[in-house]
Amino acid sequence: MAFYKKQHNEKYGVWYPSAITMGQPVTTKKVAQRLSAMCTVTYADVMAVLGELPGVMADYMAQGKSVRLEGLGTFRLTLSTRGVTSEADFDFQKQLKAVRVQFVPQREGVMTKGSTATRGLVPTGIEWVAYDAALLDAEGEPTEPGGEEGGGGSMG
DSSP 8-state secondary structure symbol assigned to residue 64: T
DSSP 8-state secondary structure symbol assigned to residue 142: B
pLDDT in tens, 100-152: 999 998 877 655 566 555 566 777 778 888 888 776 666 666 665 443 333 33
Dist CA 12 CA 15 (whole Å): 9
Residue 93 pLDDT exceeds 80: yes
Dist CA 72 CA 79 (whole Å): 23
Q: Which residues pair with 52 in a beta bridge?
A: none
How much of the chain, in percent, has pLDDT values that exceed 90? Answer: 52
Dihedral angle computed from the Cα positions of residues 115, 119, 123 and 125, in that order, rounded to the nearest 10 degrees: -20
pLDDT in tens, 104-114: 988 776 555 66
Q: Which residues pair with 76 in a beta bridge?
A: 102
